[in-house]
Structure 1
Amino acid sequence: MSLGILWQAVGLFAVTNVDDIVILALFFAQGAGHRGTTRNITLGQYLGFAGILAAAAAAAFGATFLPEAAVPYLGLLPLALGVKAAVQAWRDRGRDNGEAPPSRPVRILEVATVTFANGGDNIGVYVPVFATAGLGGMTVYAVVFLVLVAGWVAAGRYFATRPVIARALSRWGHVLLPLVLIGIGVLILVEGL
């Protein structure tokens, strides 16, 4: 196992989950003052992310049956998702998101559902990466991702307690995500052709 794949996994996780930090921070803000908030968010995040990994791995195994020349075109998935996110960000520009919801207990399945639903772009990005990485590489990516989920939960908690940072992520996360997805899609296309 090369050190390069570890760094690639860390980078891929970070760029595909930047939007998740805002959501995690919002969950922590929502559950402020309630017992079990950190536990419920952590378990929900792991449950939802395990679903994302399972879906991406299953699709990647199916993608391995494609002719090798077709695999780079899987880069069109994150590219399309990035364009879609950019269009949505453009449509939403200028809208006021309002204030954070009032404090209330956070449920594990609620976090898992939001994590999985928010991970559609992750699945689209992970499938071509997993398909080209092979079983060993896919395993490394999955293990690194699952380790980093704990760090992401900690970061979400940290941001929830830093209003200035949370506002900045909320303001610019919608711009960064489309750029990253488009970049990943182009990179997969260019490297594979």
Structure 2
Amino acid sequence: MITKTNAGRPKSYNQDQVAKALKDLAGRGVEPSVEAVKRHLREEQHLQINPRPEALQTMIDDILAREAEERTLRLIEALPSEATGFLDHACDMARRQLLLGLAEGYSELQKKNALPIQELRDLLNVARAARERSELKSIDFARQLEASHEQNDKLHALIEDLTAERNEFEKELIALRAQLAVKDEILSKLPMLGAK
């Protein structure tokens, strides 16, 4: 018996070529459409191809998704350890408060399982109040977490500003060194000119 595969014909282009096309197009501000990539592969990479749009779109989507994931991982790795530590701590505290609220309510219900209905209702109200307190604490933690995100965004903006300032400073420093080199050269030639 012959087994059929859905592999189709082999592609006359590869992921590296498509990734290069996407990078070039992004640098020009061009949308990464199937037609734009196909045109780049033909005209700039000189490939004699006529790819199926679905297959090319799938490859484009895969490459863009991989690049987005790599960018996300780089951003997360660049976070200061204090930011990730604070996030872990806030999540742990929120989880603990939720579990505590549930555990208190459950414990009370277990202890008083045989009490008359009114007492059970009273206990249920206590459990609800405990749950509401726990929810309020969770909301407070969520607000703290949001504030932490805002602070983190400000830190990133500050880092970008400082990096830009450093780059400008380095450019100015290079220009000043070039000017000093020219002045040193002129000064070194002055005694020779005086001797003539």
> Does the TM-score normalized on the shorter chain lie above 0.5?
no
Which has the greater radius of gyration? 2
User: What TM-score does the superposition give when structure 1 sets the normalisation length?
Assistant: 0.26
User: What TM-score does the superposition give when structure 2 sets the normalisation length?
Assistant: 0.26
Which protein has greater RCO, CA pairs closer than 8 Å, 6+ apart? 1
